[in-house]
């Protein structure tokens, strides 16, 4: 088939590579170069770089307008495929390909429509994650679904790791759907059930509150890692939490909620219910380091602020 592909981050690359091997991709639509790093140097998206390597016509736009639509329509694509493009497509662009557009979405629709479905699913404590391939419509993630699949989340699997895994597993779902549309055998069914939404994560979503149950704190950590990133506060400032896991049951303590201390050579933090083990952190203004090294530099303990408190230090 003659395809147009829309995507931006790393998670879109496996599908783009696979489709390029099987079909004629006439153009790739991606977002414009974004500032990266401390120097805020503009860099093309991962999808833009791959499209250039593959010799595919590249269209960079954050909000596809009439000019972009006409450029795509002139290429006469039969189908559009979206994986994490990062912007809504207007009605005229949706109608440009003969068979419209399909989208790989990382949830079991109609649950978790929006920009951060997998992350929000993990934050909410789900042990199973999912993805769906559906027909794009003007309403947000509301089109009929061709196929879906779910899988069990690994014990310490973060959102980044789950997205990387599903980005490869989703290739088969997209490829099968494209083949079905080409042969006229693909069938999409309307979404059924309760609708929920998953808005884009903001920095504040990464704040950890150790006054919650340990399972809830750990779920939030996994859901926001690595973007926007997990953090907690002490009297000395913000500490980014880079790696964390549930502590072994025999390491339970009777410490105050939010207190980090060394127990049997492990850096443990007491929550409302249960104990978490810090593995790697990054204090404000410093490089990432082993959690034990950080705590030794603070005299062996640190008090994280909890709900109703601010900047409490040990």
Binding residues for (6S)-5,6,7,8-tetrahydrofolate: 107-110
**What DSSP string runs through the chain?**
-EEEEEE-SGGGHHHHHHHHHHSEEEEEEEPPPEEETTTTEEE--HHHHHHHHHT--EEE-SS--HHHHHHHHHT--SEEEEES--SPPPHHHHTSSTT-EEEEESSSTTTTBSS-HHHHHHHTT-SEEEEEEEE--SSTT-SPEEEEEEEEPPTT--HHHHHHHHHHHHHHHHHHHHHHHHHT----B---S---B-PPP-GGGGB--TTSBHHHHHHHHHHHTTTT-EEEEETTEEEEEEEEEEPPGGG---PPTTEEEEETTEEEEE-SBSEEEEEEEEETTS--EEHHHHHHTTTSEEE---TT--S---
Q: What are the distances in angstroms from CA 43 to CA 16, 33, 40, 60, 64?
A: 19, 5, 9, 12, 19
Which tokens go with 2?
């003659």
**Are 31 and 86 within 8 A, CB to CB?**
yes
Q: What are phi and psi of 15, to 5 degrees?
A: -70, -40
Q: What are the distances in angstroms from CA 309 to CA 95, 232, 240, 312?
A: 53, 12, 18, 7
Return binding residues: 107-110
User: What is the CB neighbour count within 10 angstroms for residue 142?
Assistant: 16
């Amino acid at each position: 088939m003659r395809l147009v592909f829309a995507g931006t981050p790393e998670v879109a690359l496996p599908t783009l590579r696979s489709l390029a091997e099987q079909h004629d991709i006439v153009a790739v639509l991606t977002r414009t170069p974004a500032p990266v790093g401390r120097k805020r140097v503009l860099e093309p998206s991962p999808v833009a770089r791959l499209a250039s390597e593959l010799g595919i016509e590249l269209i960079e736009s954050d909000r596809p307008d009439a000019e972009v639509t006409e450029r795509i329509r002139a290429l006469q694509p039969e189908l559009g495929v979206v994986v994490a493009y990062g912007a809504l497509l207007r009605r005229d662009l949706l109608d440009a390909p003969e068979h419209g557009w399909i989208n790989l979405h990382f949830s079991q629709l109609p649950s978790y429509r929006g920009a951060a479905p997998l992350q929000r699913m993990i934050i909410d404590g789900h042990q199973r994650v999912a993805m769906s391939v559906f027909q794009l419509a003007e309403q947000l993630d509301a089109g009929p679904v061709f196929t879906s699949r779910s899988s069990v989340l690994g014990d310490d699997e973060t959102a980044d790791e789950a997205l990387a895994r599903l980005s490869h597993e989703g290739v088969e779902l997209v490829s099968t759907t494209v083949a079905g549309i080409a042969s006229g055998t693909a069938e999409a069914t309307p979404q059924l059930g309760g609708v929920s939404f998953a808005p884009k994560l903001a920095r504040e979503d990464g704040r950890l509150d150790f006054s919650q149950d340990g399972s809830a704190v750990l779920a939030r950590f996994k859901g926001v890692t690595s973007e926007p990133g997990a953090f907690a506060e002490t009297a000395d400032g913000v500490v980014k939490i880079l790696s964390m896991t549930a502590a072994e049951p025999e390491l339970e303590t009777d410490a105050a909620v939010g207190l980090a201390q060394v127990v049997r050579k492990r850096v443990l933090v007491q929550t409302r219910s249960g104990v978490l083990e810090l593995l790697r952190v990054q204090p404000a203004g410093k490089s990432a380091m082993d959690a034990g090294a950080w705590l030794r530099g603070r005299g062996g303990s640190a008090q994280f602020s909890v709900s109703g408190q601010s900047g409490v230090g040990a």
